[in-house]
Amino acid sequence: MTQARPMRADARRNYARLLEAAAEAFAEHGEGASLDDIAKRAGVGSGTLYRHFPTRQALLEAAYLDRIEALAARADELGGELPPGEAVTAWLEELCVGTLQVRGMKALLGSAVTDGAAEAVTGCGTRMKAAATGLVEAARREGTLREDVDPIDLLRLAHGVATASELARGDGEVIHRYVTLLTEGLRPAR
């Protein structure tokens, strides 16, 4: 088994500069920010960018890894603090707000869950699906979530709520309203 060689110091610096430049560019221009501009901002050539990040998706994921991890960790925290049904609702709201606060996150979440099967198709999607799984399973056991709701459904619905809120030029109140409407439909019939 061959082990990957550690990155040289200059490669680590380039990688860090690319991530910083990408976060700035995505914040300014969204997920469609020019990759050539990102490379220029980082002071490297396009080849260096593509060596580290072969696709736009890979760069988006790397730039937002900390935010994805924080949202996933928040699911675990809420699962430990609140009853399962309430934890699902609270996390959906936080996920929607987080998705709208950071340009490019909605596209990242959307691309993470667009596969026709019930699988997450990116690293971001895998991490977010794992976070959603714990909440969904606990809420199902509690009887506050329909049995036919999958974790990927929850992520796709969060993307839909974020999109609807954005279209309504909404704030936290609009997100809360839409999540409430959504979660009422996710509850089992009594």
Angle at 102 between CA 99 and CA 108, to 5 degrees: 60
Which 8-state DSSP code applies to residue 97?
H
Q: pTM here?
A: 0.79
List of E strands, the chain: none
Using the predicted structure, report yes or no on whether residue 3 has a pLDDT greater than 70: no
Q: Is the pLDDT of residue 117 over 60?
A: no
- Regarding predicted confidence, which is higher, 106 or 133? 133
Give the chain's mean pLDDT: 86
Residues 136-180 have pLDDT tens digits of 999 999 999 999 999 988 888 888 888 888 888 766 678 888 888
| Identical topology for domains 9-63 and 65-186 | no
Confidence of residue 118 (pLDDT cuts 50, 70, 90): very low
DSSP structure class, residue 5: P
The DSSP result for 53-72, as a single string, is -SSHHHHHHHHTHHHHHHHH
% of the chain residues with pLDDT over 90: 43
pLDDT band of residue 119 (cuts 50, 70, 90) is very low
Instruction: Provide the residue ranges of all domains of the chain, joining segments of one domain with +.
Output: 9-63, 65-186
CATH topology of domain 65-186: Tetracycline Repressor; domain 2 (1.10.357)
Residue 183: closest CA among 152, 132, 138, 149: 149
Fold for domain 9-63? Arc Repressor Mutant, subunit A (1.10.10)
Phi, psi (deg, nearest 5) at residue 127 = -70, -45
Tell me the CA distances in angstroms from 15 to 24, 118, 123, 165, 166, one per residue in order: 14, 33, 18, 34, 32
